[in-house]
């Protein structure tokens, strides 16, 4: 087991982009599979897995989020070095305003485009604000911890682990109909 852990550590140091993309993408895929498993347990009429949907989450997780976050965190570390609490909080707030909002736009529009929706921005318009509010509650504390305690080469994988929980929230938000969101408002 120690040998396997050592190899993983080596991979994160020698091929950090690849290691982070694989680990982050796995969390994204895993979260959607968990969501579908829960749906099958709660609703007996739901049978089997929607593999094309899992594939769309794979594209977003590995092709958009992981590389974007990898380079974004490198940039933040370069322009705001240090691990003081004040630096970590500043990074978390900047991350929330710039990266989280951008990635939510990417999530809803990319998913809608891959689903072949006629108006790829309709779901974004309906769900961005409530999703962003939840994102602030979840990600600001998580990122403060990440920027304060986690070494830079492990930040994307740490976000990947947190993302497993967050993507379950995104999956729920994605499944909500626009009408249901309007009724909640």
pTM: 0.82
pLDDT at residue 181 tops 70: no
pLDDT digits (tens, 9 = 90+) for 125-141: 999 999 999 999 999 99
Q: Is residue 7, in this structure, part of any structural domain at all?
A: no
Q: Is residue 8, in this structure, part of any structural domain at all?
A: no
CA neighbours within 13 Å on the CB side: how many for 77? Answer: 17
CA dihedral 90, 92, 93, 98 (to 10 degrees): 120
More confident residue, 20 or 115: 115
The pLDDT of residue 178:
59
The mean pLDDT value for 111-138 works out to: 95
The pLDDT of residue 83:
79
Q: Is residue 11, in this structure, part of any structural domain at all?
A: no
Residue 58: which domain range? 16-184
pLDDT digits (tens, 9 = 90+) for 70-95: 999 899 999 999 878 999 899 999 99
Reduced 3-state DSSP string for 80-141: CCCCCHHHHHHHHHHHHHHHHHHHHHHHHHHHHHHCCCCCCCHHHHHHHHHHHHHHHHHHHH
In the block, tokens 């993309």 appear at 21
Q: Is residue 121, in this structure, part of any structural domain at all?
A: yes
The pLDDT of residue 74:
92
More confident residue, 2 or 133: 133
pLDDT at residue 53 tops 90: yes
The pLDDT of residue 179:
58
Angstrom distance (rounded) from CA 133 to CA 135: 5
pLDDT at residue 60 tops 90: yes
Q: Is residue 175, in this structure, part of any structural domain at all?
A: yes
Could you give the number of structural domains in the chain?
1
In the block, tokens 């309007």 appear at 182
Taking every pair of Cα atoms in the chain, the longest distance, rounded to a whole number of angstroms, is 53
pLDDT band at 185 (very low <50, low <70, confident <90, very high): very low
CB 140 within 8 A of CB 102: no
Q: Is the dihedral of CA 167, 169, 171, 173 positive or negative?
A: negative
Q: Is residue 9, in this structure, part of any structural domain at all?
A: no
Q: Is residue 133, in this structure, part of any structural domain at all?
A: yes
For the chain, how are helix, strand and coil distributed in percent, rounded to 5? 85, 0, 15
Q: Is residue 57, in this structure, part of any structural domain at all?
A: yes
């Amino acid at each position: 087991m120690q040998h396997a852990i050592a190899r993983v550590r080596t991979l994160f140091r020698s091929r950090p982009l690849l290691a982070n993309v694989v680990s982050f993408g796995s969390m994204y895929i895993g979260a959607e599979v968990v969501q579908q498993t829960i749906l099958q347990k709660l609703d007996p009429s739901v049978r089997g897995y929607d593999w094309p949907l899992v594939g769309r989450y794979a594209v977003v997780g590995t092709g958009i989020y992981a590389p974007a976050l990898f380079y974004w965190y490198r940039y933040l570390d370069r322009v705001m070095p240090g691990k003081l609490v004040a630096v970590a909080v500043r990074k978390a707030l900047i991350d929330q305003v710039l990266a989280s909002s951008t990635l939510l736009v990417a999530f809803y529009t990319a998913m809608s485009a891959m689903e072949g929706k006629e108006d790829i921005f309709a779901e974004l318009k309906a769900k961005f604000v409530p999703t962003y509010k939840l994102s602030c509650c979840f990600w600001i504390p998580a990122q403060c911890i990440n920027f304060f305690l986690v070494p830079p080469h492990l930040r994307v994988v740490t976000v990947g682990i947190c993302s497993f929980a967050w993507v379950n929230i995104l999956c729920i938000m994605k499944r909500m109909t626009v009408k249901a969101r309007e009724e909640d408002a």
